[in-house]
Amino acid sequence: MKAIATILSVLALTSLTVTAAEEGAKKKPKMDPEKAFAKLDANSDGSVSKEEFMASPQAKKDAEKAEKAFGGKDKDKDGKLSKEEFTAAPKKKKKAE
């Protein structure tokens, strides 16, 4: 009886592990922010202009969302993103209590 319980436990764990691995494989790996910045900086001037940002494949999928993202990252409102602005982690919104 112990052998059957052990075998069933091993099969259950194997099934969970395979399922978790398959789900992990489906997730798209995130690009390193520094590499993404370099890729978007088409003219290599050390900043990403709004035009460069909006030319990205993600911006083309949802231009409105990209506009908001650019505006949120452009802290000094100069119309371009420095590497520091681009790579800064977004601030989390506080939940309303």
Tens digit of each residue's pLDDT, the chain (97 residues): 777 767 766 555 656 555 555 565 556 667 899 999 999 999 999 999 999 999 999 999 999 999 999 999 999 999 999 999 999 987 666 665 5
Q: What is the largest CA-CA distance in the chain?
A: 72
CATH of residue 52's domain is 1.10.238.10
Tell me which residue of 89, 80, 94, 88 sits closest to 40, measured CA to CA.
80
48 assigned to some structural domain: yes
Question: How does DSSP classify residue 95?
Answer: P
Indicate the number of domains in the chain: 1
What tokens appear for 14 in the block?
A: 């194997």
Domain hosting 17: range is 2-87
94 assigned to some structural domain: no
61 assigned to some structural domain: yes
Model pTM score = 0.63
